[in-house]
Every structure is written in structure tokens, then in C-alpha cells.
Chain A
Amino acid sequence: AQTVTQSQPEMSVQEAETVTLSCTYDTSESNYYLFWYKQPPSRQMILVIRQEAYKQQNATENRFSVNFQKAAKSFSLKISDSQLGDTAMYFCAFMNLQATGQAGTALIFGKGTTLSVSS
């Protein structure tokens, strides 16, 4: 069974600084996607970035980028030039693309990291 681990329950950073959120996962599958979702205090879960496992190039979306280390099963999120609006809980998630068993294409989430950005 796949598992996702986020070892940092809480982090804080000041505006304009850079912060990195850690995520490790465990799987025996080779074909999968990884995601970072953001859940602000309003609770709407928003996709931040995704990474295809078969791509070596790290995904980037504006101020957000990932460091994907497939062999190490690590998928960290870097937020550059942090803004107050980045304050949220961040979830790392895994999706197996091979529909095997009940997990199928369901997302498996980590426990989340609460990020606080202060001025």
C-alpha cells in the first residue's frame, strides 16, 4: 500500500522569503503522479502543482516549484517570494495511475503541513 509522509506539521516564514515543504512517499508502483494541494482557512482545496513520475524535469508554477527525487521517493515543494495569501495547510498527495485494487486512481494524502506567512 502506498503511503505519504509529511514530517513538518507546522512551518512559518516571513513575506518575501523562500520556504520548502517536505514530502516522502512509499510505493512499489512505477507509474504515478504526485500533487501538492493547498487548503486555506476557507477550506477550499486548491491544486498547487503536479508532477508526472516519468518526467525527470521538476514541475514549476510561477512561485511554486518541486524537487522530485524519484529514487529517494521525495517530493518537496518550494515556495519563493512568500505572500500572506500563501498561508494555508499544504497537502502532498499520490495518485497511482494503474488501477490495481481499491486504491485505483484515488488520491492518497499526507497529514499536511500548516504554513503561516507573516509580514
Chain B
Amino acid sequence: KAGVTQTPRYLIKTRGQQVTLSCSPISGHRSVSWYQQTPGQGLQFLFEYFSETQRNKGNFPGRFSGRQFSNSRSEMNVSTLELGDSALYLCASSPRAPDSGANVLTFGAGSRLTVL
């Protein structure tokens, strides 16, 4: 059974550009969450999607957005990149809907974004 697949694994952008990261969940998983990991702030929740709807959102500016497709694949987009957006972006999938009990998250390997 394939795990959570994130692409690209590494990317370098310059300030002001935008970036799109992709996440393919485990087959059958319908919930996808995104987290940002930085040395200073640690792991922070970005947003969660289920059935193509954003169910939860963390405390991030509107430059961070996401979406989920009918096949449960998800993308996140960061516009007008800033140096502080350099981070490891982790995607996680789970089989259950939010609010339906504990969701055990399975994480992908992450996308390492460097903003110059």
C-alpha cells in the first residue's frame, strides 16, 4: 500500500514568487492536512481538507491556500513568497472525517521549500 506522496521533494524559489505543492494521500484516505515545520516555530497546522472542503484552518495569512480534488489529492499554494516561508511542508492523510473520532495521521516525507 503506497504511503503519502508529496511532490516536489525540494524546490527553490525567490521572494515574490508563488509555489504549489502537491500531496497524494493513501488510497482510501479522504482527509488531508498540511503542516509547516521550521526550526524556530516547530510544527504548525496549516489547514485540513475533507471531501473537497476546508474543515479547519490554522493561523496563517491568506497567502497560504489549499484545495482538495475529488480523488482526495490536495495542493497547497503560497503566493508572494517571503524569506520566512522557507520550511518543510508536511502533508498527512487519515481515513476518517474530522469530528468522527481520533484521526491517526500518516505523514508524507515533505516538500522542502527554500526562498531566496
Query: Which residues of A approach B to under 8 Å, CB–CB?
Result: 33, 35, 37, 42-47, 50, 52, 91, 95, 97, 99, 102-112
Contact = CB atoms under 8 A, between A and B. Distances in A.
Nearest to A53: B102
B57 interface: yes
Interface of B: 33, 35, 42-45, 48, 55-59, 88, 90, 92, 98-99, 101-110
Contact of A106 (B42, B58, B101): B58
A108 B33 CA distance: 12
Contacts of A97: 101-102
A42 B103 contact: no
Contacts of A108: 45
Contact of B98 (A43, A104, A110): A104
Given A43-B88, A91-B43, A109-B42, A103 B106 contact: no
B59 A102 contact: yes
A43 B45 contact: no
A109 B59 contact: no
A44 B48 CA distance: 19
A112 B42 contact: yes
